[in-house]
Structure 1
């Protein structure tokens, strides 16, 4: 089954869903999308950056393709594949969040997968459009598989970062770069037109207002790097997709596209699975730490990644033997 439904929510799920629906959704609906309103959102990441630091990992500041990156690695002994890494692209509707807000999820993925995670601070609105965000994500991937020498790179992202991960898959195929080893999507945005798509609704979503997405969509075309290629990740050729695992909240606005992608990939033989959790909120593994559903989502994701790496490594070994 490519779609796995988890319909026994923990007790903590109900107050979390109701709280975000009652408090966060109205705040997002009213937040102004003028220049001062969007520029002020950077404070969210700055505030979260000074919070408690995740344990069990070490962090290092660096750059990839000229963009700031936080490299997070497990601090203890590891059996990790030294030629494998995760490229993480944070969410936030291309306008908010960054390294600080997503340090926790990047750290948990690093520990669970026993891999280095490169978390990228790509350029965002209001100064930069989605084309520029895509260029930063693709540039980081290009450097990892090029001069950094990683043979097996997993691309991961939540919400808007999921769209950027999909564009990395598209760019890798177009540029003849090594295909990503796996794609991790956490409530991924897969269609830039979701805010204006008449087949989509946010009525059951805990906090994403479709009206605000509609307003944001008008700003996505800002430069300086022009947007190129598909605006819908599912339109990327099926054969270009690596093994794919997606985590969603049941009923959230972005879930139909995620389920549709997994089903279409499964039909053509790509290893793909979606885990849908009831009574959760959009991108819940990013927002919570000890929440049972978050722990389970990280666990199933890590198991999927481990399997994808084993299969990719076996394929690389066979290729090296033939070349020798």
Structure 2
């Protein structure tokens, strides 16, 4: 396993860490997890989606994927990627907030960095549905890319709650009769739904995630209409079903210990894995901040995905020749 610790940070990172610690953290601690409180957030994201700028060098198109609205981001000009490979991006936001608008910058950067089309799925969330339904939407989108849209290889990418959805797609793909993903990019992935109840977990050093709020959120995730199948912790999933994996975390954030544990399990199973831990960064910082460490993390993940796709193409070519 390769764990790389990035100790140096920028002044902007320090300022943002302190700012979110003093503002967003107490706001999240006080925000009511009621139907009214949660229903405000999707409306805010709809406004953001309308006004969020389109990244330069990327073209966008609205499509439907797995029955859900999806934004397709593609590099402008000639594509450097194969026409049979795509990225499925599953956004974070604690299964309550965020969506296409809040994540348009990072999906555009991944499209530019890899030369691949990026499908950003607007999956269903609280307060209307629980996490099992979010997983079902993600798996349906993954299935459609492979069975109806002509893609042979899919790179999964996601941050925070989207990281959990990526892990569930990896876990459930084989049982659904689908090939495994080609690679997985996880930015501060939420890997264990019960992390907030783990006595070894703490949010004291986290920039803005309060562990007590996570503890209160989890029971709400149980609502249907689709029940959650399989593991509640991605760490418990058979490591042999995982593709080449790269994980990006903020040092000492609430969710980092599970990412380290998963990376260790993958290493023991001889699965290719990298983990990059960045000091003085905030949860899901590649998505939130445009600063040197974010750009480096996106570059590293784009290069990792590109290498994994090339290796899969070579392996496919050998299999075809042998056949």
TM-score range, shorter chain: over 0.9
Q: Distance in 2 between the 1:278 and 1:45 partners?
A: 29
The corresponding residue for 2:8 is 8
**What does residue 310 of structure 1 align with?**
310
Give structure 1 regions of 4+ aligned residues with deviation exceeding 3 angstroms.
Answer: none
Partner in structure 2 of residue 251 of structure 1: 252
Number of the residue aligned with 1:279: 280
Q: Counterpart in 2 of 1:34?
A: 34
3-state DSSP of counterpart to 1:168: helix
1:47-66 superposed matches below 5 A: 47-49=47-49, 50-66=51-67
Deviations 1:97-117 (A, max 9, x none): 111111111111111111000
Q: CA deviation at 1:196?
A: 1.3
Partner of 2:225: 224
Equivalence for 1:266: 267
Shifted more, 248-257 versus 50-59: the winner is 50-59
Name the structure 1 match of 2:188. Answer: 187
The CA distance in 2 between the partners of 1:138 and 1:127, in whole Å, is: 19
Tell me if structure 1 keeps the 8 A contact 2:80–2:116.
Answer: no
Q: For residues 56 and 207 of structure 1, what CA distance do their matches in structure 2 show? A: 32
Once the two structures are superposed, residues 49-104 of structure 1 have per-residue CA deviations (whole angstroms, 9 ceiling, x without a partner) of: 21322111111111111111111000122221111110000000001111111111
Instruction: Look up the SS of the partner of 1:70 in the other structure.
Output: strand
TM-score normalised by the chain length of structure 2: 0.98
Q: CA deviation at 1:243?
A: 0.1
Report the alpha carbon displacement of residue 45 of structure 1 after superposing the two structures with TM. Answer: 1.3
Does residue 295 (structure 1) correspond to residue 295 (structure 2)? The answer is yes
- Kept in 2, the 8 Å contact 1:187–1:246? The answer is yes
Map 1:62-211 to 2 at 5 A.
62-211=63-212
Q: How far 1:131 moved relative to its partner?
A: 0.4
**Could you say which residue in structure 1 is the equivalent of 2:45?**
45
Which piece of structure 1 moves more, 292-301 or 259-268? 259-268
Gaps of 5+ in 1: none
State the alpha-carbon separation in 2 of the partners of residues 232 and 55 from structure 1: 37
Contact 2:52 2:102 in 1 (8 A): no
| Contact in 1 for aligned 2:161/2:189 (Cα 8 Å) | yes
- SS of structure 2 residue aligned to 1:40: helix
1:212 aligns with 2:181: no
1:11 Cα deviation from its structure 2 partner = 1.6
Structure 2, gaps ≥5 residues long:
none
Judge which range, 75-84 or 27-36, deviates more: 75-84
